[in-house]
Structure 1
Amino acid sequence: MKRDELGDLAAFLAVAEERSFTRAAAKIGLSQSALSHTIRRLEARLGLRLLTRTTRSVSPTQAGERLVETLRPAFDGIEARIDALSELRDRPAGTIRITCGEHAAHTILWPALERLLPLYPDITVEIATDYRLIDLAEGRFDAGVRLGENLSDDMIAVPIGPLVKMIVVGSPAYLADRLMPITPQDLTDHACINLRLPTRGGLYVWEFEKDGRPVNVRVDGPVIINDMTLMVRGAVAGLGLGIVMEDQVAEHIAEGRLVQVLADWSPPFPGYHLYYPSRRQPTPAFSLVVEALRYRG
């Protein structure tokens, strides 16, 4: 294969995965006109139409999808072998991409990386905050962060944080004229701040447990959000009860701005885990990041 043919295939893969000539051009450092010419040249050489273009989107044709399925493992293998060459360097090097939620990024990843990265200037860590459950391969991520340890069999889960609690809180002003909820079912008589799940689009069903008995409750209220920081602000403002990470509201509770309710229905559960494919051959840089994040409490 000629050198420019390999480049054409890489350019096609970028467009097919980004579903956009604009984003793909920025990703690989080409102008849009040069990228369009490259794709036309590849399609002419293969005698196949690989992409369907509209004014708003770009998507692979059936032939294009088959080519993506062929190219992605091949390019992943090349990248993995190139990363492995870092073992021959005097110092670990490379870029590690991690997808996680904002809470984990602030409370777990950032403190660990502040300690690690000054010691290894050739390592770069990219943190992409997203509440959705991202497919690592599709998003080109090396690892992700998720609560709990229940993952598919082809994933390795490394604990990176302590046990956590989701607790229900409300402001004293909100609770002043209302009956304090005693059981989760009592929440149906309260205004609650709903959380929209980004992955499936539905509303989060509040989860509780007591004496090994789980109870799930659908709540209603004046606000629906998809940001836990806004959940806290809404609860402090008295818009309704919110369900949040305990550490997110510890200061508010200590200073009297919020009150915890249903405490006996909020047991701790496994905290954040770093997960990555078991088939992955860790590079020295990746192994250092994993060890820096590993929870040893």
Structure 2
Amino acid sequence: MGKTDFNQLIWFRIVAEEKSFTKAAARIGVAQSTLSYAIRQLETNMGIRLLTRTTRNVATTPAGERLLQTITPRMAEIEDEIAALSAFRDTPTGTIRLTLSDHALESVVWPKLKPVLKAYPDINVELILDSTFRNIVEEGFDAGVRLGESVEKDMIAMRIGPDWRLVAVASPDYLAEHGIPEHPQDLVRHCCINMRHESAGGLYAWEFEKDRQELRVRVSGQLTFNNSYAMIDAAMNGYGIAYVPENIVERHIASGKLVQVLDDWSPFFDGYFLYYPSRRQHLPAFKVIVDALRHRG
């Protein structure tokens, strides 16, 4: 077997991640024919088939999967070490990729990042909005943001925001027509605006608690979203009761556009945490982002 071309290994990893030569070529910035030729050369040089190709997608063979699992962490270590060399620069530099929800972005992350990014123009931040639980290592993220109760045990976790709660709200017109629920179980007779949790694949069962009594209520209604802000808009327009983060709906309650119900049944949840693998904490640019997001309340 001849000497392996390191670039071919990098390109193989990208093809395996994208499961498509077309997408991988666009990501790398080369012609698809060039990429296909490079992968064929790699397979010929190694004497094994690494990828199976169909008209619709690309998948790794058992040998290809083993190679992918072998090179991915090692390449990540090399990338981290190269990025760590930025410590020798006068100012931190690099790109930080985060996965987080729209609520985490608007309520915690973006307000804290805005002044910091002005002070560090050489730090680039990519924010991917997603309500699913992403594998940040496999998908190339530097860190993710989740509620404390959802953070994986093998990750470093740092609190970046206070505890918060969901509150049930509806428009005055809706409540005038359908009545005010006095107990969470009353919601089954109301039109409610559902939230779909993409990671679980199902609808969120609304969680309530009072005097140590916990209840989960599965509601129904005409509308289902995976976005809290869309739910708020629908509630203000009279489509039903929504269960949304209190801190992004307070102004609508104060203005009278929405009315809060079941207040004494709304429990607090663990606030948002930044989570990441231990090797990331040594990168200068990442340290800047971590320090900016740290909760100091």
**Which TM bucket (shorter chain)?**
over 0.9
Aligned to 1:284: 284
Partner of 2:267: 267
Aligned to 1:249: 249
Q: In the alignment, does 2:198 pair up with 1:222?
A: no
CA contact (8 A) 1:194 1:203 kept: yes
Question: What does the per-residue CA deviation read over 1:83-117, in whole Å, with 9 as the maximum and x for residues that have no partner?
Answer: 12112222111111110011211222222221001
2:150, 2:281 → 1: CA distance? 22
Q: Post-superposition shift, 1:2?
A: 8.1
Aligned residue in 2 for 1:174: 174
How much does 1:179 deviate? 3.0
Could you tell me how far 1:23 is from its partner in structure 2?
1.7
- Structure 1 distance, partners of 2:283, 2:234, is 44
Letter in 1 for 2:295: Y
CA separation in 2, counterparts of 1:226 and 1:14? 29
Are 1:86 and 1:93, in contact at CA under 8 Å, matched by a contact in 2?
A: yes
Q: Distance in 2 between the 1:117 and 1:149 partners? A: 29
User: For 1:44-94, what per-residue CA distance to the aligned partner results, in whole angstroms no more than 9, with x for missing partners?
Assistant: 111211111122211111111111011101101111111121122221111
**Closer, same or farther: CA 294–238 of 1 in aligned 2, 3 Å:** same
Deviation (angstroms), 1:37? 0.7
Change beyond 3 A, Cα 1:111–1:134: same
Please give the alpha-carbon distance, in whole angstroms, between the structure 2 residues aligned to 1:228 and 1:53: 40
Q: Which amino acid aligns with 2:60?
A: P
CA contact (8 A) 1:154 1:278 kept: no
Gaps in structure 2 of 5+ consecutive residues = none
**Number of aligned residue pairs:** 297
Amino acid at match of 1:206: W
Letter in 2 for 1:42: L
Q: Counterpart of 1:14?
A: 14
Counterparts of residues 1-297 of structure 1 (less than 5 Å): 5-297=5-297
Instruction: Provide the C-alpha distance between the structure 2 equivalents of 1:164 and 1:108, rounded to a whole number of angstroms.
Output: 11
Q: Distance in 2 between matches of 1:276 and 1:153?
A: 11
Instruction: Using the TM superposition, give the Cα deviation of residue 149 of structure 1 relative to its aligned residue in structure 2, in angstroms.
Output: 4.6
Counting aligned pairs with the same residue, the percent is 53
3-state DSSP of counterpart to 1:252: helix
CA distance in 2, matches of 1:114, 1:224: 32
Partner amino acid, structure 1, of 2:192: C
Which is further off, 42-51 or 134-143? 42-51
Q: Which moved more, 1:185-194 or 1:150-159?
A: 150-159
Amino acid in structure 1 at the alignment position of 2:226: N
Q: TM-score scaled to structure 1, two decimals?
A: 0.95
- 1:213 positional shift: 2.2
Contact 1:149 1:157 (8 Å CA) reproduced = no
How far apart are 1:168 and its partner, in Å? 0.5
- Write the deviation string for residues 202-261 of structure 1: whole angstroms up to 9, x where unpaired: 111101111222211111111122222221111111111111011221121111111100
CA distance in 1, matches of 2:152, 2:226: 26
Deviation at 1:193, TM superposition (A): 1.0
Which residue identity lines up with residue 224 of structure 1 in the other structure?
Answer: T
SS at match of 2:141: coil
AA partner of residue 63 (structure 2):
A
Partner SS state of residue 233, structure 1 = helix
Moved more, 279-288 or 220-229: 279-288
Q: Distance in 2 between matches of 1:271 and 1:122?
A: 30
Change (3 A) 1:93 1:173: same
Of 25-34 and 287-296, more deviation after overlay is shown by 25-34
Kindly provide the CA deviation profile for residues 128-175 of structure 1, in whole angstroms up to 9, marking residues without a partner as x: 111111111111001001122552321121111122110001111111
Quote the offset at 1:4 in angstroms. Answer: 6.7
- Give the TM-score taking structure 2 as reference length: 0.95
Q: Secondary structure at the match of 2:137?
A: helix
How far apart in 1 are the matches of 2:235 and 2:154? 39
How far apart are residue 281 of structure 1 and its match?
A: 4.2
Residues 207 and 217 of structure 1 are in contact (CA less than 8 Å); yes or no, is this contact kept in structure 2? yes
- Is this contact kept in 1: 2:102–2:227, CA < 8 A? no
- Large movers: runs of 4+ above 4 Å: 1-4
